[in-house]
Amino acid sequence: MGKRSGRERPSETGAGGRIESGAGGGGAAWLPILLAAGALVLGVFAWTEAKQSKTELTRRLAEMDQRVLALQNDVAKAARAPQPQQQGPDPNKVYTVKTEGSPTKGNPTAPIVIAEFSDYQ
């Protein structure tokens, strides 16, 4: 090994007088560009997906609003419609039922009588 002189050898310097590394020099200069391009592609993909999702959600919300309005109209129509006539006995009327001769339980002269009608067929 000899002493180095103050002058550089021409084979060690590149253009502009800077010293280059051994294998081709500047090998990692493309990496930031590649990463930026990848990030840009992923960003565009995410943006288009978000835009499609927003469009789909807006469409579905509009459909749901229409269904809610239709249900509100149905409820309003049902509230305005006349109630059907009640069929069967009037629950507010007191009916007299003859229970003489029927099997009974309890005091036969009680002021209130509960009569049960049943069919065992």
In this structure, of 10-24, 65-79, 97-111, the range with the lowest mean pLDDT score is 10-24
pLDDT at 17: 53
CA 3 remoteness from chain centre: 76
User: Phi/psi at 5 (nearest 5 deg)?
Assistant: -90, 170
Residue 42 CA: distances (Å) to CA of 46, 50, 54: 6, 12, 18
pLDDT at 79: 87
Better-scored residue on pLDDT, 119 or 70: 70
Domain segments of the chain as ranges: 46-79
Amino acid at 105: K
What pTM does this model have? 0.40
Amino acid at 24: G
